[in-house]
Amino acid sequence: MATPISKLAVQERLRRHFRRLTEDILRDYRDGLQSGTPEAVANFREDFIREIIGRVFERTYRLSKGPVFDSFGGRSKSIDCVICAPNHPLFLDPIGRDCALLADGVHSVIEIKPDISTLSDDFDCELVRGLEQLRSCKRLKRTEPGMASFLFTKLHDGDRDWLMRVPSHMLCLESRGLAETAAYIAWYYQEKQVPLWEQFDFVVVLGQGMLEVPRAPKGPVQSPEILVRDLGEDALGNFLFRVATLAGPEMRLSKSLMERYLVGVFDDHRVTRLATHGSFDEFPAHSAGNKHEGEEQA
């Protein structure tokens, strides 16, 4: 007999909660494919996902969409979900829309790409467009590192540069597979010579898992690895936990409440880590799953 939810430990209650949210998002996605105009469906889906993401942050955070600006003249492409930290000023136009999203007040950004299953040889696909949108954010620079400032005396110059960037992620609902997607991204980064600090932080595919470019690089190394986390129905919870516990641009006196309650639920000891290496000079899409050199249990 199933255990009544009222008697479950809080960690298991939260795990089940995120699994139900995953089902809600995927059900909405499948229903949306059959109804409404593409623009109306996309707008509703983005609003729905933004609302869910906002639930894991304190009320002093807010979510918006649009391009992000830095103080050095940089501007990103328009991003579906921009998480504004408590230090972000409220610059609104007459109808309540943000007229300026500032890198020094942005906790992180999330681009929403429902279907990234197409992996084209000429890089003309939704996955690459999403990566380029994230790259436009990673090119921006904050003027201060926020919570990471206390680490600065111990870091390599490349690490410091990375910490001044806005964390940039992608949320997807459908893909060809984690291993193949990771190999394709690594090949794309290799071909385009994308610096490590301009690469994504997390890419999550609901119901499948998450890709991660390891944080705090030790120098300008070209795409050393992409970690592939096979998480199944816990992908959304793991992703939101990791995003919510990233160091933001504002100084805080305590850790995120999410970290206190979920560190034992969504941590490295509960996922499989697949390190993706190789030059990817001759990438065959059908054999991308064979590109992994090894599998490691964290």
Q: Which of 24-33, 45-54, 126-135, 147-156 has the lowest mean pLDDT?
A: 147-156
The whole-number pLDDT of residue 3 equals 65
Section 185-191 average pLDDT: 88
Residue range of the domain that includes 270: 8-297
More confident residue, 165 or 98: 165
Query: At CB < 8 A and 24+ separation, what contacts does 98-102 make?
Result: 98/64, 98/66, 100/69, 101/64, 101/66, 101/67, 101/68, 101/69, 102/68, 102/69, 102/70, 102/71
Strand segments (E) across the chain? 62-66, 68-69, 79-84, 101-102, 106-115, 168-174, 202-205, 209-212, 226-230, 272-276, 292-297
Cβ atoms of residues 295 and 274 within 8 Å:
yes
For the cut 50, the answer to whether the pLDDT of residue 242 exceeds it is yes
Residue 193 falls inside a structural domain: yes
The whole-number pLDDT of residue 275 equals 47
The whole-number pLDDT of residue 31 equals 78
The whole-number pLDDT of residue 5 equals 60
Rounded CA-CA distance 241/22 in Å is: 14
Residue 177 falls inside a structural domain: yes
Section 238-253 average pLDDT: 83
Residues of the chain above pLDDT 70, percent: 73
More confident residue, 80 or 246: 80
Section 50-75 average pLDDT: 93
Rounded CA-CA distance 109/253 in Å is: 23
The number of distinct structural domains making up the chain is 1
Rounded CA-CA distance 146/251 in Å is: 5
Residue 2 falls inside a structural domain: no
Residue 261 falls inside a structural domain: yes
Residue 41 falls inside a structural domain: yes
* Alpha-carbon distances of 38 from 32, 33, 78, 174, rounded to whole Å: 8, 8, 18, 17
For the cut 70, the answer to whether the pLDDT of residue 18 exceeds it is yes
pLDDT tens string 258-286: 777 776 666 554 455 544 444 444 444 43
Section 54-76 average pLDDT: 93
The whole-number pLDDT of residue 291 equals 37
pLDDT tens string 222-236: 446 788 888 889 999
More confident residue, 214 or 68: 68
Q: Which residues, including other chains, have CB under 8 Å from residue 88's CB and lie 6 or more apart? A: 62, 101, 102, 105, 106
For the ranges 3-7, 101-105, 160-164, 246-250, the one whose mean pLDDT is highest? 101-105
Q: Which of 16-20, 166-170, 282-286 has the lowest mean pLDDT?
A: 282-286
Q: Which of 133-137, 139-143, 276-280 has the lowest mean pLDDT?
A: 276-280
How many other CB atoms are found less than 10 A from the CB of residue 284? 10
Band (pLDDT 50/70/90 cuts) for residue 221 is very low
Q: Which amino acid is at 16?
A: R
More confident residue, 167 or 217: 167
Rounded CA-CA distance 66/101 in Å is: 8
Residue 16 falls inside a structural domain: yes
Rounded CA-CA distance 239/210 in Å is: 7
**Residue 278 backbone zone (phi > 0: left; psi -120 to 50: alpha; other: beta):** left
pTM: 0.83
Rounded CA-CA distance 180/185 in Å is: 9
The whole-number pLDDT of residue 66 equals 94
The whole-number pLDDT of residue 93 equals 75
Cβ atoms of residues 233 and 265 within 8 Å:
no
**194, two tokens:** 């994308």
The whole-number pLDDT of residue 29 equals 81
More confident residue, 224 or 249: 249
Burial class (CB in 10 A: 0-12, 13-18, 19+), 203: buried
Residue 3 falls inside a structural domain: no
CA 128 to chain centroid:
15
For the cut 90, the answer to whether the pLDDT of residue 64 exceeds it is yes
Residue 103, SS3 per DSSP: helix
Cβ atoms of residues 236 and 56 within 8 Å:
no
Residue 199 falls inside a structural domain: yes
Cβ atoms of residues 195 and 250 within 8 Å:
no
Cβ atoms of residues 208 and 235 within 8 Å:
yes
Band (pLDDT 50/70/90 cuts) for residue 245 is confident
What DSSP line would sit under 246-258, residue for residue?
Answer: S--SS--SS--HH
The whole-number pLDDT of residue 225 equals 77
